[in-house]
Amino acid sequence: GTGSVSVNCPASGCAVTQVSWTVSSSASTAPTISGAQVTWTTSQTSGHSYDVYVTLLSGTSVVGSGSATQAASGTAVTTSVTITAASGSITPSSFDHVEVDIVQTS
């Protein structure tokens, strides 16, 4: 799994509480990561939107990444992000660090 998670949010009140994974597997293959769910609180209550970026890294090499847009609510939300592998597939042991960047876009 992940050794550490770095989170970069808008300065005024954004808080990430959880990052979880969408994992698929079969009896004959290792589990693979296809997405992430980021649970966080938006800093604005309405009328704004955010882009949520998730990057999976092994050392300094990008293993996979994805992004999604989230509307402001001022309460806890869970943003689902589809992760695309840089090459091949992503197993839980193929990355050791996750970076979550949240950018207010409007």
pLDDT digits (tens, 9 = 90+) for 19-65: 889 988 777 778 899 999 999 888 788 888 999 999 999 999 999 99
Among 8-12, 61-65, 86-90, 95-99, name the one with the lowest average pLDDT: 8-12
Which pLDDT belongs to residue 24? 85
Which pLDDT belongs to residue 1? 46
Alpha carbons 9 and 102: distance in angstroms, whole number: 5
**Per-residue pLDDT at 3 exceeds 80:** no
Alpha carbons 61 and 100: distance in angstroms, whole number: 15
Between 17 and 13, the more confident residue is 17
Alpha carbons 34 and 32: distance in angstroms, whole number: 6
Q: The pTM is what?
A: 0.85
